[in-house]
Amino acid sequence: MYCTVDKSHTSGAPATQARNAKDDMVDDEEWKNLGVGLPSGVTMREKKSGALSRMQKLKKRLSHSFGRLTVSKEDPEDHVSGKLPYNGYSDEFLDRLEPNGNIPEGKADLKYTDWNTVRGHNNRVVKRQLSVSSDSKLLDDDIREEARVILRPRKPPRPKSEVLLNNPGSEHRRTKRFSAFGGDSPFGKSEAYIKLEQLGEGSYATVYKGYSNLKNQVVALKEIRLQEEEGAPFTAIREASLLKELKHANIVTLHDIVHTRETLTFVFEYVVLGTPGEEDWPGVTTLPGYKPHKLGQYRPRKLGLYWPRLHDVVQGEAMATALLQLDPAHRLGADDAMCHPYFNGLPKKLLELPDDVSIFSVEGVHLYPEHYTAIK
């Protein structure tokens, strides 16, 4: 008991000082907001105090109000929940504002309204002391630690499916439903990715080539450095939430997000046609920006490795590869493309169609609009 009282005095005083300091800070801001157009010092002062009290009203700890609710409504319920063990922290979880004999209901109300009276001040110190014990414990712990202590995922984590790892085709849909947080989800963990060499650097992020142990494929890791005092930058938050929604063949796919204390890493699909060389791009070495030591040497890979859906279509990969050749001599022309086995399924009539007749005049040919259902 003595111990906690001491704690309250040591921790309570600086806390109130800090509060005053912050009030002053806001004070200054309000001054600035008021601008220079005010005529006399008197009105300025009045306005200032009005703004100040408004700010002060805003700056409140809702646990007061929550506490009052508890007093009036939840007493029996809380009694029950207090007995239930929540990760073994049942006592820690109880609201310290509960009337357990220390703070009668009337006083709690009084403290809330008479913020500046001596009695209110004392009570606030008492309250502070009580909540400090739970706050300080969490301050130095890691986020998962905090999550385990204060919060507890209500649902048991969804069963980790072994199928997931062996079935890359259906993965997109499944990763959506997985929460990266907690549970057994293999996603969202930095151990799953091996960082290889650096590919490039921007103003707020660095991109590395990486290897995913989950999918056994090369990925691009975009590592965003987090600023200690700002949290995640809004650009990164927007990028992540937008890319989460966008699944389209022409938009680079965001596979996973790894959020650690210092960095936020986006795992992208690694799009590669290989580093161009003299044999597939004659004259590339003489271009001013061509610096092999910076670009790195990558061998071109089969397209089907990056776009597995190409395998689903008969001759899809062969067709796409033939069309994506840089050298026109090796590239598939339009006429040859029509004769490619890829189009074997089409009605033969199409090939003999005169130039001025629409292909939609042929029976069985329709244009399907790309709709949102097409975006997985």
Partner 1 sequence: SLLEDPPALQPLEVTEPTAEELSLLQDYGRDNLDYLFYREKRVAWPKPDYMSKQPFITKQMRTILIGWLIDVSVEYELDEQIVFVAVNLIDRFLCVMSVVREKFQLVGAAALMLAVKLETSVKISPQNWATLTGDGFTARQMIKMEKLIMSVLNFDLRSPTVICFIQQICTKFKFPNDHSAISMYIV
Chain contacts with partner 1 (rule: CB under 8 A): 15, 18-19, 22, 25-26, 54-55, 57-63, 65-67, 69-70, 73-74, 81, 84, 86, 93, 95-96, 131, 134-135, 138-139, 143, 146-147, 150-155, 176, 178-181, 188, 229-232, 234, 237-238, 240-242, 244-245, 257, 259, 372
**Nearer CB in complex with partner 1: 131/321:** 131
**Nearer CB in complex with partner 1: 141/312:** 141
5 vs 130: CA distance, rounded Å? 9
Is the CB of residue 21 less than 8 Å from the CB of residue 134?
Answer: no
Residues 6+ positions from 165 with CB-CB distance below 8 Å: 186, 214
Is the CB of residue 139 less than 8 Å from the CB of residue 102?
Answer: no
Handedness of CA 85, 86, 88, 89 (dihedral sign): negative
Is the CB of residue 195 less than 8 Å from the CB of residue 219?
Answer: no
The response to whether 215 counts as a known ligand-binding position is: no
Minimum separation from the CB atom of position 301 to partner 1 (A): 28
Handedness of CA 89, 90, 94, 99 (dihedral sign): negative
Is the CB of residue 222 less than 8 Å from the CB of residue 266?
Answer: yes
**Nearer CB in complex with partner 1: 152/172:** 152
Minimum separation from the CB atom of position 242 to partner 1 (A): 7
Minimum separation from the CB atom of position 199 to partner 1 (A): 23
Query: How is residue 349 written in tokens?
Result: 């009539």
Minimum separation from the CB atom of position 14 to partner 1 (A): 11
**Nearer CB in complex with partner 1: 74/280:** 74
Closest CA to 164 of 138, 182, 134, 184: 184
**Nearer CB in complex with partner 1: 50/282:** 50
Minimum separation from the CB atom of position 276 to partner 1 (A): 35
Show binding-site residues for ATP: 222
Show binding-site residues: 222
